[in-house]
């Protein structure tokens, strides 16, 4: 792609926008991907809030940037800023991946759901068909994974959120895709137990874990946390105390990044070796 006047045409300029991003593994992950193909990339962390995101994204593009990942709290903003978007991004009304097309501007993708399913099924051998799933949270993270999870044919997906109306609105948006409903935290225990519980809240970034009890899990069930590294520790500790099987979101992080990398470079990296490298040496 055109890198702009006076810039190194062999260098692919990429970035991550969001807040906070200073400890993100994304630059490390994409450098490992690039090394598999001998590509030269620059991957920056750009701290951004909603108010300055449009300006910083424009500056990034004028500086030769051709693609970026977007994390909290900007995923909906990224989707709204784009001139066009994939079906997954439109369905989620949120984007985690932007690619610059010189003829039309930024195109939005959402690779979160595909990354989660790739980690669950491909890396951990977990089937979702016919299962009862519980998603904690109803924000952009939940919206980004809901469509791909429903496409796997679960018996039911239940959303639980402090704001019941927000969860109900999200459930209604995806109701044509599969069986999805919403409940409050107060009524959650009356809804039975689940085969897979997915934490899509940001509580871990505040050093807190969702209020889960063993009664929410059927025997052999799994708790999957979209958080990783420090933000995953509160829920990991809770699950250890409950002797509940738990997986953090590092695999999903790498898998969704692999989809983004392919969008930007048209090359499919080996994600498993990168997951292993990040667990061995996370930074």
Q: Which residues are catalytic?
A: 75
65-70 and 97-101 as β-strands: parallel, antiparallel, unpaired?
antiparallel
Q: Which token pair is 236?
A: 């990991």
Residue partners of 67: CB distance under 8 A and separation at least 6: 12, 14, 97, 98, 99, 100, 260, 263, 264
244: phi then psi, degrees, rounded to nearest 5: -105, 125
User: Contact at 8 Å (CB) between 203 and 209?
Assistant: yes
Q: How far apart are CA 278 and CA 257, in angstroms?
A: 13
Q: Which token pair is 233?
A: 């520790």
């Amino acid at each position: 792609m055109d890198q702009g006047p006076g810039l190194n045409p062999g260098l692919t300029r990429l970035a991550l926008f969001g807040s906070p991003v200073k400890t993100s593994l994304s630059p490390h992950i994409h450098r490992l991907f690039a090394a598999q193909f001998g590509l030269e990339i620059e991957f920056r962390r750009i701290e951004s809030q909603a108010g300055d995101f449009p300006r910083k994204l424009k500056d990034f593009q004028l500086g030769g940037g051709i693609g970026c990942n977007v994390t909290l709290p900007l995923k909906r903003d990224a989707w709204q800023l784009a001139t066009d978007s994939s079906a997954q991004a439109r369905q989620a009304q949120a984007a985690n991946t932007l690619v610059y097309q010189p003829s039309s501007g930024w195109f939005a993708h959402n690779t979160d759901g595909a990354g989660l399913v790739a980690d669950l099924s491909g890396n951990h051998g977990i089937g979702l068909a016919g299962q009862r799933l519980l998603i904690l949270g109803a924000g952009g993270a939940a919206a980004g994974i809901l469509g791909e999870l429903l496409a796997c044919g679960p018996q039911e997906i239940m959303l639980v959120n402090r704001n019941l109306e927000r969860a109900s609105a999200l459930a209604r948006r995806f109701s044509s895709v599969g069986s999805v409903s919403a409940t409050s935290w107060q009524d959650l225990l009356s809804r039975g137990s689940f085969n897979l519980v997915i934490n899509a809240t940001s509580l871990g970034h505040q050093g807190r874990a969702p209020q889960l009890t063993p009664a929410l899990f059927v025997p052999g069930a799994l708790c999957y946390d979209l958080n990783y590294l420090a933000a995953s520790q509160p829920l990991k500790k809770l699950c250890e105390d409950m002797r509940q099987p738990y997986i953090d979101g590092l695999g999903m992080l790498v898998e969704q990044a692999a989809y983004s990398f392919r969008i930007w470079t048209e090359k499919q990296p080996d994600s498993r070796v990168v997951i292993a490298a990040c667990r061995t040496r996370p930074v």
